[in-house]
Structure 1
Amino acid sequence: MAKTLELEFVTEFGKSARISVENPKEPIEEAVVKQAMEEMIAAGVFTSKNGNYASVKGARVIDRNVTEYEIV
């Protein structure tokens, strides 16, 4: 079972940009995630093809199960 924390931002041009974090530390605290995202924006270290990150849009955890079958 693989989990990914997906952070979604709005760029300076009004487009969406995402950062994915594999295997996030749990439990996820919304206030901590929001604060970290705001600090990333303030630091200006991330950008995308749609411009610099301007505001927080949201966050979500994606929980994925993969079952492989041997087909002969």
Structure 2
Amino acid sequence: MASKTVLQLEFLTDQNKRVRITIPSPKQPVDAAAVQNAMDLIVQKNVFAYPQGVIVKRAAATQVVTDSTEIA
């Protein structure tokens, strides 16, 4: 069985839309304070542009782990 872990950072834009940044294979264990600080920095520096608008607020951070097993 193979496991894959990603960190999903969700933000709100000035158009009230959600955008997501996905980070593959985050360093374990994930430090919640460091994630929040990084998300605040992304909002503050305004480094990403999206068709949905400019990021203005952090919404959520989720660690997603998926397992897969080859059948044949």
In structure 2, which of residues 58, 62, 65 is the aligned counterpart of residue 63 of structure 1?
Answer: 65
Question: Secondary structure in 1 aligned to 2:68?
Answer: coil
| Uncovered stretches (5+) of structure 1, i.e. residues with no partner | none
Q: Aligned-pair distance for 1:13?
A: 0.7
Name the amino acid aligned to 1:10: L
TM-score for the superposition, normalised by structure 2: 0.92
Residues 1-72 of structure 1 aligned to structure 2 (within 5 Å): 1-70=3-72
Larger Rg: 1
Aligned residue pairs total 70
TM-score norm. by structure 1 comes to 0.92
Query: 2: distance between equivalents of 1:32 and 1:43?
Result: 16
Q: Per the alignment, in what secondary structure is the counterpart of residue 26 of structure 1?
A: coil
The structural deviation recorded for 1:57 is 0.2
Residue ranges of structure 2 left out of the alignment (5+ in a row): none
Whichever structure has more strand as a proportion of its residues is 2
- Runs of 4+ in structure 1 deviating by more than 2 angstroms, as ranges, are none
Letter in 1 for 2:13: T
Deviations 1:33-64 (A, max 9, x none): 01101101111111211101100001000000
